[in-house]
Amino acid sequence: MKRFWLLGFLAAFLPAGAFATVDVADGIKKVEPEIKAYVKKRAAREGGAPYISALVRGDIDGDSKEDVFIAYAVEGMGGGNFSLLFQALFLNDGKRLVFRAERPNGSFGTAQGKSYIPRKIEKGRVICETDEYGPDDGVCCPSIKGEGEILFRDGKLIEVESGGRGKRARSDPTDPPVAR
């Protein structure tokens, strides 16, 4: 009986993510312990559960060592479906991965904004696909697809659009005809 009381006490007074495992998207083979620890700590601070949706590896800072860039979510804060989206960069110091920068990457549950989805690290840049909500999009389905890059400059992650605003994933009858 004492054990159940202790578990109830801990559940009531510790942050929601304190005991959470870090869920990882299919296809991600390996997540280093220092990345899991960072994401878990952030999720606990926000009061949600951590989920790593994308992870890419490559040399972003020109030292010939493999760095790691992740996209992750903190889900279910307050018991709902709302999620905060983040991206974080971990540089390889030769012995371990060290957290260096983080940026917000929008949210899921508002039908507003743009998210950058990392695909690879190339020539010191994180090459990304972008998803952006159009004016009539539902919460589930941003319709404007594009390309972008994330740069690491002066200790910060900076987004750069590539190729304009992007294009709709589905046709929209209100779009003007395309000149050929």
Residue 146 token pair: 């594009």
DSSP summary character for residue 136: T
Per the structure, the complete domain to which residue 63 belongs is given by 20-168
In a domain, 71, yes or no: yes
In a domain, 1, yes or no: no
In a domain, 29, yes or no: yes
In a domain, 138, yes or no: yes
In a domain, 9, yes or no: no
First to last CA, the chain: 76
In a domain, 113, yes or no: yes
Per DSSP, the residues of 3-59 read HHHHHHHHHHHS-TTTT---EE-TT-----HHHHHHHHHHHHHHTSEEEEEEEEEE-
The tens place of each residue's pLDDT in the chain, 180 residues long, gives: 444 333 343 344 444 444 457 888 878 889 999 999 999 999 999 999 999 999 999 999 999 999 999 999 999 877 777 788 999 999 999 999 999 999 998 777 676 778 899 999 998 999 999 988 888 888 788 889 999 999 999 999 999 876 544 444 444 444 444 343
Domain count, the chain: 1
In a domain, 75, yes or no: yes
In a domain, 151, yes or no: yes
Quickly list H helices, 47-155: none
